[in-house]
Structure 1
Amino acid sequence: MNLINKERLDAVTAAAQASERLRMNYNYHEDLEAPAQRLLNALEPGTLLPIHRHHHSAETYILLRGKMDVVYYNDQKEETERVTLDPLQGNYGVHIPIGQWHTLEVLESGSVLFEIKEGPYTPLAEGDILE
Structure 2
Amino acid sequence: MQRRLCSAILSLEAIVLGLSTIVLVSLTSIATSTGLAIGLGLFVACLLVAGLLRFRWAYVLGWGIQVAALALSAVITAMIVLGVVFMVLWATAYFLGAKIERERAEWEARAAAAPGPDYSSGHE
Given the two structures, how large is their TM-score scaled by the length of structure 2?
0.25
Bigger proportion of residues as strand: 1
Bigger proportion of residues as helix: 2
Given the two structures, how large is their TM-score scaled by the length of structure 1?
0.24
